[in-house]
Amino acid sequence: MQVAIVSDSHIPDREETIPDEFEERIAAADHVVHAGDFTGTETLSHVRELAAELTAVHGNMAAPDIDLPSVASVELGGVTLVVTHGTVRSLEAWYDTVAETVREHADEPRVGVGGHTHRLEDEVHDGVRLLNPGSVTGADPATAATMLTAEVDDGEVDVTVHER
């Protein structure tokens, strides 16, 4: 199963659009995960139109009329992805917060997906694999637009980084 993993779109408050090549990857995926910060309802609607299936959470900058959970879980290819924005002030606290959220919401095999920092991450922290796709639009403080795709099959997750 091909999964597109994105976060921190920040449209329209910081950026105007998702790059075309990233929209193509989102549309081609079997499932899309968005780890928060839809700052406009139009962007959420657009991603829903692109995605075959969508799992999404709100972020700390979400528009007030966006009704998404703070944590969502989805089982894909034998792995539970636990998605949360991970709103914290420091990078170390981000790792701790997201890893704890993952442990609270899923048994093995599991992977945490978070956003907020706008930094690409694929790390194991305290026994939990954590993915952060950065910002799909390159919104500040990101230095580039980034996203992840993952091939998820038989309990295994193979991640590819995409940068523009």
- Report the amino acid identity of residue 34: H
Mean pLDDT of 130-158: 97
Distance separating alpha carbons of residues 11 and 107, to the nearest angstrom: 34
Instruction: Report pLDDT for 89.
Output: 77
Residue 112 β-bridge partners? 82, 130
Amino acid at 115: G
**Cα dihedral sign for 83, 26, 119, 17?**
negative
pTM for this predicted structure? 0.96
Q: Select 2-163's CATH number: 3.40.50.720, 3.30.530.20, 3.60.21.10, 3.40.640.10.
A: 3.60.21.10
Q: From its phi and psi, is residue 16 left (phi > 0), alpha (psi between -120 and 50) or beta?
A: alpha
Sorted by sequence, the CB contacts under 8 Å of residue 46 that are 6+ apart come out as 18
pLDDT tens readout for residues 38-95: 999 999 999 999 999 999 999 999 988 999 999 999 999 999 999 999 988 788 899 9
Report residue 89 as tokens: 């002030």
At residue 28, the pLDDT reads 98
Q: What confidence score (pLDDT) does residue 155 get?
A: 94
Instruction: Give the pLDDT score at 138.
Output: 97
Closest CA relative to residue 47, chosen from 69, 25, 76, 62? 25
Question: What single-letter amino acid sits at 62?
Answer: A
| Annotated domain spans of the chain | 2-163
Contact 30, 54 (CB under 8 A): no
Positive or negative torsion for Cα 20, 43, 6, 133: positive
pLDDT one-digit tens code per residue, 15-33: 999 999 999 999 999 999 9
> For residue 63, what pLDDT is reported?
87
Residue 35: band (very low, low, confident or very high) from pLDDT cuts 50, 70, 90: very high
Residue 133: pLDDT above 80? yes
